A and B are shown apart, each in its own frame.
Chain A
Amino acid sequence: DTAVSQTPKYLVTQMGNDKSIKCEQNLGHDTMYWYKQDSKKFLKIMFSYNNKELIINETVPNRFSPKSPDKAHLNLHINSLELGDSAVYFCASSPDAFSGNTIYFGEGSWLTVV
């Protein structure tokens, strides 16, 4: 009964491929996020969705396309993978987008592009 779950946990793929990472939260939260953690452990927000609507889109290549079929799910699709996309991707959720409530993270998806 993990609160924020993401799959797959590990993914190794070749350059140029397209891949997706799925995320689901069972906390009843309205807001979900994708973060990227690089090789130096630096964590940066990529996207934020509130009730299925995109509210934050940081400077991310348009090869990255999030999709939220409902407020409990936020999937990340990546086209034409590049070596620099290798990172850990964290999904997260919070009760809402605006009051700054605690954010809950998934366990991460380790993406390696070779």
Chain B
Amino acid sequence: AQSVTQLDSHVSVSEGTPVLLRCNYSSSYSPSLFWYVQHPNKGLQLLLKYTSAATLVKGINGFEAEFKKSETSFHLTKPSAHMSDAAEYFCVVRPPNFGNEKLTFGTGTRLTIIP
């Protein structure tokens, strides 16, 4: 069985300050991990993914995430927040050797950017 927990339902940061969105996972094996972003009234867009290569993964729009097996975490970071980053962010886990039917989504973290 696998699960993913996004530790904060809502995060607010000021424009220009760092962003940290936390995600912990539970999986019997080394999973694949993803971060998706959903802007208001839009679909989900892939930000980045980890699939057992480098543990530090760089994504689009300046985001990156680090896979830490010892901590079962895959936190999303960005050095400097931009107003356009305001959105809902989903951490997603998938067990190895399975297809997308086994994606498990977190409950999302709403990121608000304060001008």
- Determine if B103 and A103 form an interchain contact, defined as CB atoms under 8 angstroms apart: yes
Chain B residues with CB under 8 Å of A92's CB are: 100
A48 within 8 A of B: yes
Contact with A along B91-108 (1 / 0, CB 8 A): 000100011110101011
Question: Size band of the B side of the interface?
Answer: 20 to 34
Q: Are A42 and B32 in contact (CB under 8 A)?
A: no
**Any B CB within 8 A of the CB of A27:** no
Minimum Cβ distance to chain B for residue A103 (Å): 5
User: Cβ of A96: which chain B residues have Cβ within 8 Å of it?
Assistant: 99
Q: Is the CB of B99 within 8 A of A108?
A: no
* Assembly CA distance A4 to B44 (angstroms): 11
CB neighbors of B among A20-43 (8 A): 31, 33, 40-43
A48 touches B100 (CB 8 A): yes
Size class of the contact patch on chain A:
20 to 34
Whether B43 and A103, one on each chain, are in contact in the complex, defined by CB atoms closer than 8 angstroms, is: no
Query: Given A90-B43, A108-B42, does the pair A40, B107 have CB atoms closer than 8 Å?
Result: yes
Q: Chain B residues with Cβ under 8 A from A45's Cβ?
A: 101, 103
Contact B107 A97 (CB under 8 A): no
Query: Contacting A105 at CB < 8 Å: which of B32, B45, B88?
Result: B45
